[in-house]
């Protein structure tokens, strides 16, 4: 399942960069595409899983994949955020940002928010992965 989580994370990174480029090209400055990217990455992982196993994942496999994928989402987010902060935000503002980020209130809010977001992502990935495998299984049976 670690291999699938790596496939998920790599596809999430590529898809997120593609969506961001498209939004930037069309001049959209606001908008979130993280759940859409997560769903597409879940499809790629489900396709790869079904190609190898031709069955539904067990509960243990589903839990393991979902947990590793949430870790992959956080790693991917930091991979994207660090260059954006370094290249886009002016130096004086990044210094102010650093002082805010190191405050106790921000750390507590980040941890609580991170836990809530992680739970949401975990549930979305778990549902999407199993649903996509079911769709692939139905498609294989009907073909």
The DSSP-derived string for 37-80 is HHHHHHHHHHHHHHHHH-SPPPHHHHHHHHHHHHHHHHHHHHHH
* DSSP-assigned letter for residue 31: -
Are 7 and 45 within 8 A, CB to CB?
yes
Q: Model confidence over 43-94: pLDDT tens digits?
A: 999 999 999 998 999 999 999 999 999 999 999 888 888 887 777 777 777 7
Q: How far is CA 73 from CA 5, 11, 89, 142, 143, in A?
A: 10, 11, 23, 34, 34
Long-range (24+ apart) CB contacts under 8 A made by 77-80 are 79/13, 80/13, 80/16, 80/17
Among 24-33, 103-112, 116-125, the minimum mean pLDDT is found in 24-33
Q: Model confidence over 7-56: pLDDT tens digits?
A: 999 999 999 888 888 888 887 766 677 888 899 999 999 999 999 998 99
Task: Quote the CA–CA distance of 100 and 123 in Å, as a whole number.
Answer: 31
Q: Is 18 helix (H, G, I), strand (E, B) or coil?
A: helix
3-state secondary structure 70-109: HHHHHHHHHHHHHHHHHHHCCHHHHHHHHHHHCCHHHHHH
pLDDT at 115: 95
pLDDT at 29: 66
């Amino acid at each position: 399942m670690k291999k699938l989580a790596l496939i998920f994370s790599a596809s999430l990174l590529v898809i997120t960069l593609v969506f961001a480029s498209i939004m930037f090209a069309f001049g959209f400055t606001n908008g979130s595409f993280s759940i859409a990217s997560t769903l597409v990455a879940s499809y790629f992982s489900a396709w790869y899983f079904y190609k190898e196993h031709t069955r539904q994942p067990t509960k243990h496999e589903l839990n393991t994949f979902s947990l590793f994928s949430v870790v992959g989402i956080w790693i991917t987010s930091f991979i994207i955020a660090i260059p954006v902060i370094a290249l886009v935000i002016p130096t004086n503002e990044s210094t102010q940002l650093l002082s805010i980020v190191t405050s106790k209130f921000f750390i507590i809010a980040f941890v609580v928010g991170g836990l809530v977001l992680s739970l949401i992502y975990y549930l979305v990935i778990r549902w999407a992965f199993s649903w996509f495998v079911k769709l692939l299984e139905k498609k294989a049976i009907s073909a």
